[in-house]
Amino acid sequence: MSDILIVDDERDIRELIAEILKDEGFATRMASNSDECMAEINAEPPALMVLDIWLKDSRMDGIDILTRVKRDNPDVPVVIISGHGNIEIAVAAIKQGAYDFIEKPFNIDQLLVVVSRAMETARLRRENASLRKRETNSAEMLGSASAFRKLKEQLDKVTKSNGRVMLTGAPGSGKEVAARYIHTHSARSSGPFVTVTSAAIAPERMEEVLFGRETPERGVEKGLLEQAHGGVIYFDEVGDMPLGTQSKILRVLTEQQFMRAGGTDKVRVDLRVISSTTRDLPQE
């Protein structure tokens, strides 16, 4: 993921931006409409997108594409360009997650500054994700007792699947270490590991924390479920989660999608759920 995808319905503009960026050492790809754009992204997500708002004879306009990209590839920065730019469009694009907005006819120096900053942001995000992965990998399980070996054998079995896991045990027995062990040795090890401390979140805020929210003033704020996309979400002390929220989580598990608070579009997520508890939940 090291190139820039340029999406514009005007061939001259596409090729001009591509030549400018190539002269600065960037690799580029081009697309003229939403179908070509999504095909390029699905083939391999770019490091950055330069996206025109208005795409003639296209199924989706720039805002639609931006919304899809920020949902499915949230780490890809998107720079919006438009020849019909105004403050309303700029604000709408930024609220939907755009990195920045450039108006046509654009200044070459301005374009290069914005692209360079966006690429640096993408690089820092990748480094941050790598550091988070290294932190996850640092959780080791050490022991030689028969009970420990039996536990580790059980954990090794579930690392190979994508099934949901419930870990039980007394406080301090290492349930989160076991959860991180499963994640580290699974096919999702390169994805995020997001912890939800159920007992520490006020019941009235639980759904907002998990599902995120959308407001006219602040735009999209991603919840923990969305942050865990592609990896694992770990519910610590899941028995302390409000019952109403538990029923909504069940729907997420079956449908793999949800709506943010205040939102109208469904958000698709691909995640594995690991939970833990100190309680005897079947008895309760």
Over 90: is that where the pLDDT of 56 sits? Answer: no
- pLDDT > 70? residue 52: yes
Q: What is the pLDDT of residue 144?
A: 83
How far, in Å, CA of 269 to CA of 225, rounded? 7
Q: Is the pLDDT of residue 88 over 90?
A: no
Tell me the mean pLDDT in the region 116-127: 80
Tokens of 69: 């990209």
pLDDT surpassing 80 at residue 150: yes
Task: Give the tens place of pLDDT for each residue, 251-274.
Answer: 888 888 888 888 888 888 889 999
Residue 136 clears pLDDT 80, i.e. is over it? no
pLDDT of amino acid 46: 92
Q: Is 249 exposed, middle or buried (0-12, 13-18, 19+ CB in 10 A)?
A: buried
Q: What average pLDDT score do residues 188-193 get?
A: 88
Position 189 scores a pLDDT of: 86
Q: Are strands 48-52 and 27-31 parallel, antiparallel or unpaired?
A: unpaired
Q: Torsions phi, psi of 153, nearest 5? A: -60, -40
Tell me the C-alpha distance between 231 and 272, whole Å.
6
Greater model confidence, 134 or 169: 169
CB crowding 217-239: b at 16 or more within 10 Å, else e? eebbebbbbbbbbbbbbbbbbbb
Check whether 133 has a pLDDT greater than 70: no
pLDDT at 86 over 80: no
For residues 1 and 23, what is the distance between their CA atoms, to the nearest angstrom?
Answer: 19
The H or E element containing residue 168 is strand 165-168
Query: Would you state the pLDDT for residue 30?
Result: 96
